[in-house]
Amino acid sequence: MKISTKPLLRVWAWQKEAACRGMDPSVFFSPVSERGRARRRREEAAREICRACPVSGPCGRFAHTSQQEYGVWGGYTEKERRSIRRITDRK
């Protein structure tokens, strides 16, 4: 395992510019019982925030490389990230 020599703050610096910083995480992460239309509405609200975010790219890459299973990251839903992972795993 390769250990990063970058200072930890630099690795996470993109987060300080995030549009979601300080927001209620429930906008990005679903409650256990959330289904159907309610889930799609919440995800679309989260994606709208991500569309205006200056660091949605680094956020999405972080979610992909760290295999985040839950929530909306960089404008990508859990389902979208699973699809991307399946496609990239085939290569």
Q: Which residues are annotated as a binding site?
A: 20, 50, 53, 59
Give the annotated binding-site residues for [4Fe-4S] cluster: 20, 50, 53, 59
Q: Is 88 helix (H, G, I), strand (E, B) or coil?
A: helix
DSSP state of 5: -
CA distance 9 to 31: 30
Residues in the chain, overall count: 91
